[in-house]
Amino acid sequence: MFQKLTDYIGKLDPNFIPAERKEVLGSFIDYIQEKINSGLHISLNFICTHNSRRSHLSQIWAQTMTEHFQLNQVTCYSGGTAATAIYPMVIKVLEEAGFETVQLSKEDNPVFAIKYNADSHPIIAFSKTCDHPFNPSIGFAALMTCSDADENCPFIPGTEKRIALNYEDPKAFDDSPLQKSKYEERSRQIATELFYVFSKIKKP
């Protein structure tokens, strides 16, 4: 893993996660552990309304934590109730955390390759609906990263487990002096919580 990213992860402190939030994360931990115990592959689809901010941060940090904790049977995806585009500040805060990114296309909904080390296949990131062919169609967990998507998607076909992991939307601070710090804050929160989740997984 890139050294800057390793250093960033090393400074995450799950002790700052409130007890009530750890309860919410408990069902996520249980789901992964049950799959691990059964020797099954795990597909996680992080879902938000526009697949532009929180769902991408969650997908990318989750996949990175599977590498950090050497859980290679986990694949992470993201989607939305509508497709828009990854918000540029998301890419910026990821780069500052230590990821390397390459923009692969320049249309309104660009595709990015996001790498956490030099050798592994990059995470391919672009805005898409949760049922896009790029995402799993059956046997996956749907992690709802915003309350709006959670409320407006009462049923997601193919889901075997649905977990609400609602995060506050940094979009509220777009075009304000607090924009960058709020995106960094949300990225760090998501990274810390996913570090906590995967740190609790016991390998067979």
Between strands 123-125 and 140-144, the pairing is: unpaired
Convert the pLDDT of each residue in 54-109 to its tens digit.
999 999 999 999 999 999 999 999 999 899 999 999 999 999 999 999 999 999 99
Residue range 41-167+182-199, CATH number: 3.40.50.2300
Rounded to whole angstroms, the Cα distance separating 172 from 179 reads: 8
Determine the length of the chain: 204
**pTM (2 decimals)?**
0.96
pLDDT of 149 > 80? The answer is: no
Q: What Rg do the C-alpha atoms of the chain give, in angstroms?
A: 16
